[in-house]
Structure 1
Amino acid sequence: MQTIYQASNSVEAHMLKNMLEQEDIAAFIEGEYLQGGVGELPSHNLVRLVVAEADAERAKEIIDNWNEIQDTNQPTTENKPQRRLPTFILVFFGMVIGVMISLAFFRTHYDYAGNDHDHDGQLDEKWTYSPTGVPLLYEGDRNLDKKIDVITDYNRHGLPEVSEFDDNFDGIFETTASFDKGYMSVSKTDTDGDDFPDFITNYKFGVMTSIEYINVYSGYPKKICSFDLGKLKMCEIDSNLDRAMDKQIHYDADGEVKIK
């Protein structure tokens, strides 16, 4: 990567970045968030616009042309008294610019190239990022059938919040998973297509701990099986469907039923 421009502020940097992207040049902003809390750093030349080495010459030419246009359009100030805006107006515009930058930080979506695993010219994985590089959305085609079968939404910190899965690849997302602090905590699956989750998997720090088979009529588990390191340890069963587990089955290290 090569620095092609030292922006005076973040607003100018984003404007020039968008201008370059309209010319199919991928540009990135560095040092944007060092402003305002720079400490011992100098408060100028912090915000830089960088591009790939191969695009540097053309990007510089585009920005130079833009600067020439701006210089041409500048009105002459010779022999004219300088008028200063009232302080409250400057403060107001500063607040507006701050809000605009915040909205861009949290809401603006930029698509970045993903992965084409089978080299057919179509992305099998696609990531969507915020302008600051925080992931917002993931879409994946795991079986390479040209259909998306997993979608993950991320929060403003870049941690996954919700995922949807089409695990039998029939075009229907039958499983929804929730996350806690970035780790999968529970997934709910509608195995029979009646829009009611009848199979629930529980996780702790992303590790499966138990599964629940749900009675679709009562909404309560009719069977709960516990796991340890992926191995089935015990199942509790509500044999008469009275919402109380009345039977237990224990399993050995080989997954065989323990005989008492």
Structure 2
Amino acid sequence: MADVFGKALMDFQHGKYTEDIKTYSSLDEEDVIPIPYLFRDFDEMPKMEQMALQMAHGKVLDIGCGTGSHSLYLQDKGLDVTALDSSEGCISVCKERGIANTVKSPILEYSNDTFDTILLLMNGIGLAGTLDRLDVFLRHLASLLRPNGQILLDSSDIIYMFDQDEDGGYWIPDNGGYYGEVNFTMEYKGLKSEPFDWVYVDFNTLQNACLANHIHCELVMEGEHYDYLAKLTMEP
């Protein structure tokens, strides 16, 4: 499978940036991922990401690390950080940017260590793919936590993307799935990725999934646009 995302990041890292990543989704929306934004430093990050990084402590696992911007900030603060991504290109960029500990692996195939803080930023919970895979995903993350460890994640309720009627209800397609499930394809310089599933989880749905798996779910912060930061911990 073409590492479209990784190639785009490698190009930027090596001074070959000429275009952004295009995304196509089952929401019938064409969008772009601006590559320079993925290389931002702490001051350029949204408040929610800044808050999560300030809450991180101990040994940290940064899942879906991308360019490693979050890992770099924490490493510079003296934390022991492991940057994990399934993209070869992402891991190469992280190494070139000076991140000491990197792992190339899908998260569900990783079980080599345990951590005090697990980060899933930029809607990292989306890696679960679909709502019916969320339980397995959460249980696996919980297995990587040390005693008193925490999972910090942000996500969005994408209900706002659907049409609203006069009484405030939303017109959601009745396709049998959860409305936050989206199928994406990425394109960069003529290369197209395989389609992949991504899930945006509203806070109530996340809370219910955590409850079913004996995980405590706390709302830390709400953003201005249906987004939120949550902290998950194991129930005693």
The question of a shared fold, defined as TM-score above 0.5 by the shorter chain, is answered with: no
Question: What is the TM-score with the length of structure 2 in the denominator?
Answer: 0.24
Larger of the two Rg values belongs to structure: 1
Which has a greater percent of helix? 2
Question: What is the TM-score with the length of structure 1 in the denominator?
Answer: 0.23
Bigger relative contact order, structure 1 or 2, given CA contacts below 8 A and separation 6+? Answer: 2
